[in-house]
Amino acid sequence: MAHTTLSSIAMTDTWWEVSKMPDLTGKTAVVTGANSGIGFETARAFAQKGAHVVLACRSVERGHAARAEIADAHPDASLEVLELDLADLSAIHWFADALKDRHDRLDILVNNAGVMHSPYRTTQNGFELQFGVNHLGHFSLTGLVVSLLTRSKAARVVTLSSFFQRQGRLDFEDLQSEDDYDRYRAYAQSKLANLVFAVELQRRFDEAGCDVLSVAAHPGWAATNLQSHGVSMDGGRFRPLVYRLLNHLLAESPAYGAVYVLYAATAPDVVGGRFYGPSRFFEMRGPPTELPLPAVAETDATARLWQASESFTGVQYDFDVPLA
- Residues annotated as catalytic are 187
Counting beta carbons within 10 angstroms of the beta carbon of residue 209, is it exposed (0 to 12), middle (13 to 18) or buried (19 or more)? exposed
What DSSP character marks residue 167? Answer: G
HSE, side-chain direction, 13 A CA sphere, residue 23: 2
Sheet holding 108-111, edge to edge: 78-83, 52-57, 28-32, 108-111, 155-160, 212-217, 275-280, 285-291
Count of alpha carbons within 13 Å of 252, Cβ hemisphere only? 23
Which of 137, 9, 27 is CA-nearest to residue 78?
A: 27
CA-based R_g, the chain, Å: 18
CB 61 within 8 A of CB 55: no
Beta carbons within 8 Å of 111's beta carbon, 6+ residues apart: 32, 138, 141, 142, 157, 158, 159, 160, 194
Instruction: At 113, give phi and psi (nearest 5°).
Output: -60, 150
